Amino acid sequence: MRVVLLATPEAGKGTQCKNIVDRYGLVHLSSGDILRRQRAESTDLGEKAQTYMDSGALVPDGLIVEMMVSAISKTTDAGFILDGFPRTVNQAVELDKALTGNSQKVDIVLNLEVGEDVIIDRISGRRSCPQCGAVYHIENLKPKVEGICDNDGARLIQRPDDSSDVVRNRLKTYHQQTKPVVDYYKNCRSEIEFYDIDANEAAGKVKAFIFEKLDVLVSV
Ligand code: AMP
């Protein structure tokens, strides 16, 4: 099964990806995670991606497509879930081409959406541990000691791409470049199953909806 998970920022796609991976054994390919690993290892790609990521802009398509097609080529028949990719129509078209070349296709696209006020609140209140990556929120998910990671005692930081002006830039980027991907799958690829999902709903309800749709595909 090959799944594409599209989402507005902060729609809980990380949580839902984990649910899906745990239940169906798919390989989780998150473009954001792969890029952050490349940066941590100071690779050429990581260095090229840095300025774009820190400003809330998208990394150029050429770099991303090569990175993701290479990651996909290492997956097995069990399938995969793409998280954060494709994020432009061009990426979606290139993904289709790469899959078609291997006699494969995307089976289902899930589109998680939350409202803009929720997005801004969630991102600007988020704090992260620079050592273990744990994520907190200043109101909704506080650490035991303010500003300190529960796991390793490191001082929590606001990721450079979580500051409020960067958040606004990420939203603009989403509307200009990623929303058209939703329309592409809805209008141009009618043979692929597509679902809009209201991610303001409780995470458990969203999970149940997703499982209902994926269970059908698995049993076909
Ligand atoms: P994420 O963790 O998915 O929000 O990704 C973090 C950042 O990585 C984004 O704000 C972009 O700068 C970059 N990025 C992740 N995925 C892509 C993609 N498919 N295309 C371009 N840039 C990406």
Q: What is the pLDDT of residues 114-155, one digit of tens each?
A: 998 888 888 888 899 999 989 999 988 999 999 999 999 999
**pLDDT, tens digit (0-9, with 9 covering 90-100), for 16-74:** 999 999 999 999 999 999 999 999 999 999 999 999 998 878 999 999 999 999 999 98
The yes-or-no answer on residue 189 being catalytic is: no
Cα 88 to middle of ligand 1, angstroms: 11
Distance CA 32, CA 78 (A): 22
CB 123, CB 10: distance < 8 Å: yes
Query: Which of 59, 88, 169, 177, when mutated, tests ligand 1's pocket best, judged by the most ligand atoms within 8 Å of its CB?
Result: 59
CB 5, CB 207: distance < 8 Å: no
Distance CA 87, CA 80 (A): 17
Distance CA 179, CA 87 (A): 8
Take residue 162 and report the two structure tokens written for it.
């979580």
Q: Which residue has the higher pLDDT, 205 or 102?
A: 205
Collapse the DSSP code of 9 into the 3-class scheme (helix H, G, I; strand E, B; otherwise coil) and give the result. coil
Confidence of residue 97 (pLDDT cuts 50, 70, 90): very high
Confidence of residue 220 (pLDDT cuts 50, 70, 90): low
Cα 56 to middle of ligand 1, angstroms: 8
CB atoms near residue 42 (< 10 Å): 9
Query: Which of 50, 63, 87, when mutated, tests ligand 1's pocket best, judged by the most ligand atoms within 8 Å of its CB?
Result: 87
Distance CA 215, CA 138 (A): 37
Longest dimension (CA), the chain: 53
Average pLDDT score over residue span 163-190: 88
Please give the full DSSP string across 36-105, using - where no structure is assigned: HHHHHTT-HHHHHHHHHHHHTPPPPHHHHHHHHHHHHHT--TT-EEEES---SHHHHHHHHHHHHHTT--
Distance CA 179, CA 11 (A): 14
